[in-house]
Amino acid sequence: MKFLRSFLASVAIIVLIYVTAVVIVNPRGEFPSRRFPWIIPNSRRVKVELFRAAMQSGPVRGIVLGSSRSMTLAPAALSAASSERFFNFAVFSSTIEDHLAILRFVIRSGAPLDNVIVGLDQDALAPGTPLRELTTNIDLATALRGESPTTVRRVMNWAQMVKAAFTPYYAANLGRSVDLAFAPEVPINVFGPDGSLRYVRWDAQIASGTYDGAGAFAECRRKQLELADTNAGHTLDSARTARFEELLRVADSVGAHVTVWLPPYHPALLQVLAARPPDQAALVALRTTVIELTRRYNANFIDLTNPAAFGAVDSWYDCVHYGDANAARIIATLIPVKR
């Protein structure tokens, strides 16, 4: 019995040390600590914090929603064109649940929204589930459910995140985060105070002539075709379509005008997708549904999947992420139109 008590006490101490390390090192950016580098760029947590800071210096009247394909849309340019202050709230690998959660969070935060720009990826309404980064973000997860982040909810959320940390993969993240603290690397990207993203590492490599554009394009092409194959044959998910309509309804209820747009593909990838009937059928289904719903709620719809639609130039990081020159041309087509 004495041995068992000693063993259990030792286990309890080890668990306590590990949990303390998880909270302090915080490799995935889920906890408040910023002492060590994040292994996973927790864009949802960062954007919540940046938005709150932005609201302290004045009301935000326009937001950008979307994935990384919307992150380089500069709020300053949108503000200059619309005379309204914008914030870029696009997050990595966004889902329709993210869009709705963020919109509700922004409204709950007291922003007097006039305009909402929504970048929908082609698989936006395909079957799927929200990402862990959303479901563990107490502010956005509760907003998605139309609830408030109570103390009980926060405690339960912390317990959920701590429990999920007991995996070999998470332990490896801890080690990697500590390594980066002693041997820092230039980050791939950074966010500005307005939520916009800069690819600092890639831009530096492009400037020095060392960026592997061909390799980046090939890897991007592989991932995009893999995603297309995964979604092939699927009809639009009814639950996600309902969430998209709810987003339009929520925006309309506060008097905000919505512009929904489909982001572009690099011409070379677009040519490949054009030769794949299932991909074209999926795009037609998405476009048809979005057009029907945006008309119902007096929103704008702009299809920019073909870069010729906005006069694209040779300004790309890979097959779906575009540079500043193309971002400026896209913004010129997305200038908010008031009702």
SS3 labels along the chain: CHHHHHHHHHHHHHHHHHHHHHHHHCCCCCCCCCCCCCCCCCHHHHHHHHHHHHHHCCCCCEEEECCHHHCCCCHHHHHHHHCCCEEECCCCCCCHHHHHHHHHHHHHCCCCCCEEEEECCCCCCCCCCCCHHHHCCHHHHHHHCCCCCCHHHHHHHHHHHHHHCCCHHHHHHHHHHHHHHHCCCCCCCEECCCCCEECHHHHHHHHHCCCCHHHHHHHHHHHHHHHHHHHCCCCCCHHHHHHHHHHHHHHHHCCCEEEEEECCCCHHHHHHHHCCHHHHHHHHHHHHHHHHHHHHCCCEEEECCCHHHHCCCCCECCCCCECHHHHHHHHHHCCCCCC
Provide the pLDDT for residue 123.
85
* pLDDT tens digits for range 313-322: 999 999 999 9
Task: Check residue 310 and give its pLDDT.
Answer: 95
Return the CATH fold of 41-140+186-333: Rossmann fold (3.40.50)
In tens, the pLDDT along 9-44 reads 676 777 777 888 777 877 777 778 777 777 778 999
| Share of residues in the chain with pLDDT > 70 (%) | 95
Looking at the chain, the whole-number percentage of residues with pLDDT higher than 90 is 63
Per-residue confidence at 233, pLDDT binned at 50, 70, 90? low
Return the domain boundaries, the chain.
Answer: 41-140+186-333
pTM of the entire structure? 0.90
300-303: list long-range contacts, CB under 8 Å, 24+ apart.
300/257, 300/258, 300/259, 300/260, 300/337, 301/259, 301/260, 301/261, 302/259, 302/260, 302/261, 302/262, 302/333, 302/334, 303/261, 303/262
The model's pLDDT over 236-256, given as tens digits with 9 standing for 90+, comes to 899 999 999 999 999 999 999
Closest CA to 90 of 332, 333, 327, 339: 327
pLDDT digits (tens, 9 = 90+) for 168-212: 777 778 778 777 777 777 778 899 999 999 999 999 999 999 999
Q: Can you give the pLDDT at residue 337?
A: 45
Cβ atoms of residues 110 and 60 within 8 Å: no
The residues facing 198 across adjacent strands are: 190
Give the residue, 233 or 332, on which the prediction is more confident. 332
